[in-house]
């Protein structure tokens, strides 16, 4: 029985570009911006990186295929660069590649990178893409908000909530992320909103209004990982280690079988269970101090509070309205603004989440700093509720 | 010895009906006297309907409650087939999952094509007893402000022709008369009809030709015994023809102008269906198609008109009147609507993939697992049931006629559709099976979790670059 990777790999440096509509920046600029910060943080020379993983979702929109765009942008010393793509879990997938390489002993120092240059399409929203030659012939021509909006009516029906009550909790989710983003200098949307504003916003995909949807942003984020021993040799005292990295992928059950009722994300439940086991977490609500979850839409964050085990079934609406996941609540969620306000350059998002956890654990979060957190969780949901890949990572602080 | 005749019939009219008053309001300034009186409403296609999809729905109605395996031939008559070179009847046959040995023919080129196809089908049945499904549909587009714009409707009708004991109407006689009389025409490259003066058409066309053909067809039958005179064309022409043919004026029914308008090639068959829904056993029916001559068919009603499906009356009743003239123009392709940059998506069809799965896509087949019984769409190599997942255990099962229940849905105002919002979601099928599917003919606010739906054959996507369109099935509310 495999024992997992808990605490075998340390993150010694992270970088994150400012997210937003970076009209004047190319993907190369964004990658250099994030990387410069990460190598300075790690205190290593660029040439000590032995292997890299590049996460990009929209191939041919952001950068060209393969890992070469990263190799070119950073002029890496001809090391292996592997391009990975796993829908919105792409960034976490890149981290997983780098972490596993170090855990396996294949390399000492590895780089995980995620980048997305979305604002070169010339229109609002995410680029259109094919779903596959056969799938295009029958699947609905859906958009991301429309696909995630499906959770709304199904969740309300499943738990007996009115859409009005659900909308109020969803508005609180978005209000909270805007509040947090004000104190998050690299975030895309740093304005406050009111609950009333969110409720009155134009409908994008029922029941999701404009403020229930995350931003479409340019951005890059990266992590430099190594063994705890090498990290110590680099002079790292307080150290962030990877306690778990778990993924779960749909196999068609949600789209094709009656056992899924449409009100939750099956894979998030599975990935969370695996991650907690790997990390040795038995009481998530007590042991996890903060989380960054895949709030592509407010309804997603709401159902995730249940799928990840933080709220009892049907209770997320109440917990959210009670402020349990606010920055001042029991388990703060999206302290940096989340996808909603920090932004969602798809391939970079998983690493951006890790960046916030890392920043908070090391006590570097400035005015949004939480009081001494030691365990943080990140979660991505790539795809759509009935066809997706979920990733959960658990990061922990070891005080030196 | 069983007789030959019409075994069952079916109809389909789009749900959309434009009140003619709305046309006059919008176009009266330009149309002047041509606009006519703003009576009733005309039917028109939703953005995802065409002659072919209407034909499929009329055929389903016609076959409802009947065994499909006996159909040996299918003729699809229309002047507005979506494909000029691709067997349109073949798509209809595929959607209906008719026998592989089926003969498929497109009947085209003139307004009489529907009655001509019916006449040929009756002839063939008399020769070899084989069953033919005749489907007629038209989606004629007319210029804004034209007389045709108010007169035309979009619709389809179908008749199953064969030999047997359970006929709705029995064949009695027929006659044909050719005449290259150009009352109107549409050039091969033209979008619209070019029509001539009605009085000339009435006098030199209808009155000079049709009574002769009727007289020939009736032979020794006394014209005063005809109870239903179904003439392709305006009711006032039919009345004049009745008088000239010494048929009683009461034999001329309403021409459905008020309810749906003239549905072109489909219209005589629609009138026939309406007559059969009313006719008593033994009543004589004369069906007279018009278009570069006449085809006349004499039938005797049996009084056994099967009412398993929606029929003509049900199709007429299913209409929802609106006054949205601009939307009507958009659906007809007469205004160039901006659908946003998202609409630039390339909808190229991978034909090899479409052909591999043609039965699944066009006839809406899924798989049923022999090991666990789970119904699933799409059919796959491994069973979707998490407790089974067996390989290669699935038999094809048709889902098109099943009803379902909405599990999740949204009204998406961002997604590309020619009728925002785009409504889609997960549907759970009766007897098992789940499908992620687009909805159609659903108003904002109408969908809900648990809503009962059925499936209809519609245009899935247009490929504007290559002039292709692809079809699939969509969920629509069950409305009874």
- Is the model's pLDDT at A398 over the cut of 80? yes
Instruction: Provide the mean pLDDT of chain A.
Output: 96
Looking at the fold, whether A293 and A375 belong to one and the same domain comes out as: yes
Average pLDDT of the residues in B468-475: 98
Q: Contact at 8 Å (CB) between A198 and A297? A: no
Looking at the fold, whether A53 and A113 belong to one and the same domain comes out as: yes
Is residue A294 flagged as an active site residue?
A: no
Looking at the fold, whether A267 and A205 belong to one and the same domain comes out as: yes
Average pLDDT of the residues in A67-94: 97
Q: Is residue A190 part of a domain?
A: yes
CA proximity to B139, closest of B361, B332, B406 = B332
Looking at the fold, whether A195 and A224 belong to one and the same domain comes out as: no
Phi-psi region of B226 (alpha: psi -120 to 50; beta: other; left: phi over 0): beta
Are B412 and A139 an interchain contact pair (Cβ–Cβ within 8 Å)?
no
What HEC string does A88-105 produce? ECHHHHHHHHHHHHHHCC
B chain contacts of residue A205, beta-carbon cutoff 8 Å: 410-415, 421
Q: Which two tokens stand for residue A112?
A: 């995980």
Looking at the fold, whether B297 and B409 belong to one and the same domain comes out as: no
pLDDT tens for B381-416 read: 999 999 999 999 999 999 999 999 999 999 999 999
Q: Is residue B376 part of a domain?
A: no
- Confidence tier at B307 by pLDDT (50, 70, 90): low
Looking at the fold, whether B327 and B407 belong to one and the same domain comes out as: no
Q: Is residue B417 part of a domain?
A: yes
Q: Is residue B196 part of a domain?
A: yes
Instruction: Provide the mean pLDDT of chain B.
Output: 96
Residue ranges making up the domain that contains B227: 4-331
B422 touches chain A (CB under 8 A): yes
- Is the model's pLDDT at A310 over the cut of 70? yes
Looking at the fold, whether A51 and A65 belong to one and the same domain comes out as: yes
Q: Alpha-carbon distance A234 to A315, whole Å?
A: 46
Q: Contact at 8 Å (CB) between A256 and A296? A: no
- Is the model's pLDDT at B231 over the cut of 90? yes
Looking at the fold, whether B420 and B318 belong to one and the same domain comes out as: no
- Is the model's pLDDT at A130 over the cut of 90? no
ipTM: 0.94
- Is the model's pLDDT at A215 over the cut of 90? no
- Confidence tier at B35 by pLDDT (50, 70, 90): low
Looking at the fold, whether B316 and B418 belong to one and the same domain comes out as: no
Looking at the fold, whether B195 and B309 belong to one and the same domain comes out as: yes
- B132/chain A closest Cα distance in angstroms: 30
Looking at the fold, whether B156 and B251 belong to one and the same domain comes out as: yes
Position B1 scores a pLDDT of: 62
B chain contacts of residue A142, beta-carbon cutoff 8 Å: 412, 415, 422, 424
Looking at the fold, whether A192 and A333 belong to one and the same domain comes out as: yes
Position A174 scores a pLDDT of: 98
CA A37 to chain centroid, in Å, comes to 20
Q: Is residue B121 part of a domain?
A: yes
Looking at the fold, whether B276 and B419 belong to one and the same domain comes out as: no
Average pLDDT of the residues in B449-463: 97
Are B380 and A252 an interchain contact pair (Cβ–Cβ within 8 Å)?
yes
Q: What is the CATH number for B290?
A: 3.40.47.10
Split into its structural domains, chain B has a count of 2
CA proximity to B240, closest of B214, B264, B266 = B214
Residue ranges making up the domain that contains A298: 144-209+241-398
Question: Which residue from A256, A262, A263 is facing B384, i.e. has the nearest CB?
Answer: A256
Q: Is residue B55 part of a domain?
A: yes
Q: What is the CATH number for A78?
A: 3.40.47.10
Q: Contact at 8 Å (CB) between B397 and B364? A: no
Q: What is the CATH number for B451?
A: 2.40.50
CA proximity to B229, closest of B219, B215, B220 = B215
Who's near A313: CB < 8 A, 6+ residues apart? A159, A306
Looking at the fold, whether B207 and B308 belong to one and the same domain comes out as: yes
A-B contacts (CB, under 8 Å): 142
Q: Alpha-carbon distance A298 to A294, whole Å?
A: 9
Q: Is residue B394 part of a domain?
A: no
Looking at the fold, whether B422 and B325 belong to one and the same domain comes out as: no
- The catalytically annotated residue of A25, A88, A213, A333 is A88
Q: Is residue A130 part of a domain?
A: no
Split into its structural domains, chain A has a count of 2
B chain contacts of residue A263, beta-carbon cutoff 8 Å: 408
Q: Contact at 8 Å (CB) between B31 and B24? A: yes
Q: Is residue A196 part of a domain?
A: yes
Lowest-confidence segment of A112-126, A298-312, A343-357, B174-188 by average pLDDT: A112-126
Tell which of B290, B312, B331 closes a domain: B331
Angle at B207 between CA B204 and CA B210, to 5 degrees: 110
Position B306 scores a pLDDT of: 66
pLDDT tens for B329-371 read: 999 999 999 998 888 889 999 999 999 999 999 999 999 999 9
B370 touches chain A (CB under 8 A): no
Average pLDDT of the residues in B451-460: 98
Looking at the fold, whether B294 and B416 belong to one and the same domain comes out as: no
Which one of A60, A140, A163 makes the best mutation probe of the B interface by having the most chain B beta carbons within 10 Å? A140
CA proximity to A387, closest of A203, A140, A128, A160 = A140
Q: Contact at 8 Å (CB) between A250 and A386? A: yes
Looking at the fold, whether A95 and A155 belong to one and the same domain comes out as: no
Q: Is residue B145 part of a domain?
A: yes
Looking at the fold, whether A224 and A286 belong to one and the same domain comes out as: no
pLDDT tens for A90-121 read: 999 999 999 999 999 999 999 999 999 999 98
Position A121 scores a pLDDT of: 85
In this structure, the strands spanning A109-116 and B103-108 are: unpaired
CA A113 to chain centroid, in Å, comes to 13
Tell which of B312, B331, B350 closes a domain: B331
Looking at the fold, whether B202 and B290 belong to one and the same domain comes out as: yes
Tell which of B284, B316, B331 closes a domain: B331
Are A146 and B410 an interchain contact pair (Cβ–Cβ within 8 Å)?
yes
Q: Is residue A136 part of a domain?
A: no
Is residue A88 flagged as an active site residue?
A: yes
Looking at the fold, whether A317 and A273 belong to one and the same domain comes out as: yes
Q: Alpha-carbon distance A196 to B10, whole Å?
A: 53
- Is the model's pLDDT at A146 over the cut of 90? yes
pTM for this prediction: 0.96
B chain contacts of residue A386, beta-carbon cutoff 8 Å: 408, 426, 436
Looking at the fold, whether B48 and B143 belong to one and the same domain comes out as: yes
Q: Contact at 8 Å (CB) between B105 and B75? A: yes
């Amino acid at each position: 029985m495999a024992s997992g990777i808990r605490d075998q790999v340390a993150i010694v440096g992270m970088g994150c570009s400012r997210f937003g509509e970076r009209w004047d920046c190319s993907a190369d600029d964004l990658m250099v911006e994030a990387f410069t910060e990460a190598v300075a943080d790690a205190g290593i020379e660029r040439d000590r990186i032995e292997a890299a993983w590049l996460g990009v979702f929209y191939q041919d929109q952001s950068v060209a295929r393969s890992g070469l765009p990263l190799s070119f942008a950073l002029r890496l010393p001809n090391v292996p660069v592997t391009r990975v793509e796993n829908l919105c879990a792409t960034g976490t997938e890149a981290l997983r590649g780098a972490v596993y390489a170090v855990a396996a002993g294949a390399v000492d120092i590895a780089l995980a990178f995620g980048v997305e240059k979305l604002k070169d399409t010339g229109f609002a929203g995410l680029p259109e893409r094919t779903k596959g030659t056969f799938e295009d012939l029958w699947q609905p021509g859906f958009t991301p908000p429309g696909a995630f909006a499906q959770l709304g009516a199904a969740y309300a029906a499943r738990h007996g909530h009115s859409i009005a009550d659900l909308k109020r909790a969803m508005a609180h989710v978005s209000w909270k992320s805007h509040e947090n983003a004000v104190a998050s200098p690299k975030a895309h949307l740093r304005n406050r909103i009111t609950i009333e504003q969110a409720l009155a916003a134009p409908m994008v995909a029922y029941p999701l209004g404009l403020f229930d949807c995350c931003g479409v942003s340019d951005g890059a984020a990266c992590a430099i990982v190594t063994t705890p021993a090498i990290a110590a040799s680099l002079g790292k005292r307080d150290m962030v280690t990877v306690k778990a990295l778990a993924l779960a992928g749909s196999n068609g059950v949600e789209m094709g079988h009656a056992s899924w009722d449409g009100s939750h994300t099956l894979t998030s439940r599975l990935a969370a269970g695996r991650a907690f086991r790997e990390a040795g977490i038995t009481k998530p609500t007590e042991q996890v101090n903060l989380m960054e979850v895949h709030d592509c839409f407010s309804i997603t964050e709401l159902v995730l509070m249940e799928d990840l085990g933080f709220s009892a079934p049907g209770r997320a609406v109440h917990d959210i309205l009670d402020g349990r996941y606010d920055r001042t609540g029991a388990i703060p969620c999206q302290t940096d603004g989340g996808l909603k306000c920090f932004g969602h350059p798809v391939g970079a998002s998983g690493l951006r989440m890790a960046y916030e956890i890392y920043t908070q654990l090391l006590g570097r979060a400035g005015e949004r700093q939480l009081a001494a957190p030691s365990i943080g969780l990140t979660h991505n949901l790539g795809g759509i509720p009935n066809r997706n890949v979920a990733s959960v990572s658990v990061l922990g602080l070891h005080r030196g | 010895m069983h007789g030959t005749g019409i075994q069952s019939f079916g109809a389909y009219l789009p749900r959309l009906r434009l009140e003619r008053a709305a046309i006059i309001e919008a176009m009266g300034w330009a149309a002047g006297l041509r606009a006519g009186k703003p009576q009733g409403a005309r039917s028109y296609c939703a953005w995802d309907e065409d002659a072919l999809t209407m034909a499929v729905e009329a055929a389903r109605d016609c076959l409802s409650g009947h065994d499909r395996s006996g159909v040996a031939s299918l003729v699809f008559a229309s002047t507005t087939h979506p494909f000029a070179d691709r067997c349109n009847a073949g798509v209809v046959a595929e959607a209906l999952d008719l026998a592989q040995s089926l003969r498929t023919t497109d009947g085209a080129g003139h307004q009489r094509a529907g009655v001509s196809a019916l006449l040929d089908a009756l002839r063939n049945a008399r020769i070899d007893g084989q069953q033919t499904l005749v489907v007629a549909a038209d989606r004629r587009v007319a210029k804004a402000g034209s007389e045709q714009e108010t007169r035309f409707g979009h619709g389809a009708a179908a008749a199953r022709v064969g030999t047997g004991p359970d006929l709705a109407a029995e064949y009695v006689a027929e006659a044909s008369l050719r005449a290259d009389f150009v009352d109107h025409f549409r050039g091969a490259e033209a979008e619209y009809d070019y029509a001539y003066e009605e009085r000339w058409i009435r006098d030199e066309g209808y009155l000079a030709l049709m009574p002769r053909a009727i007289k020939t067809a009736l032979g020794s039958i006394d014209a005063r015994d005809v109870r239903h005179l179904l003439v392709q064309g305006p009711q006032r022409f039919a009345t004049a023809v009745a008088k000239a043919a010494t048929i009683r004026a009461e034999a001329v029914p309403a021409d459905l102008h008020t309810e749906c308008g003239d549905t072109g090639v489909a219209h005589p068959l629609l009138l026939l269906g309406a007559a059969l829904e009313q006719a008593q056993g033994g009543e004589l029916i004369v069906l007279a198609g018009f278009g570069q001559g006449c085809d006349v068919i004499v039938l005797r009603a049996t009084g056994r008109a099967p009412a398993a499906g929606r029929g003509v009356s049900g199709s007429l009743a299913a209409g929802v009147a609106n006054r949205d003239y601009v939307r009507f123009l958009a659906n007809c392709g007469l205004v160039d609507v901006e659908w946003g940059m998202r609409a630039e998506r390339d909808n190229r069809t991978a034909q090899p993939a479409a052909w591999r799965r043609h039965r699944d896509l066009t006839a809406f087949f899924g798989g049923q697992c022999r090991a666990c019984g789970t119904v699933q769409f799409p059919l796959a190599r491994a069973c979707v049931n998490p407790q089974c997942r067996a390989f290669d255990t699935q038999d094809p099962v048709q889902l098109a006629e099943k009803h379902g229940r909405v599990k999740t849905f949204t009204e998406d105002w961002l997604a590309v559709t020619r009728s925002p919002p785009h409504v889609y979601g997960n549907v759970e099928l009766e007897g098992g099976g789940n499908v992620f599917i687009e909805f159609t003919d659903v108003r904002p606010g109408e969908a809900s979790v648990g809503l009962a739906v059925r499936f209809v054959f519609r245009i899935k996507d247009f490929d504007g670059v290559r002039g292709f369109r692809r079809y699939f099935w969509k969920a629509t509310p069950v409305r009874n």
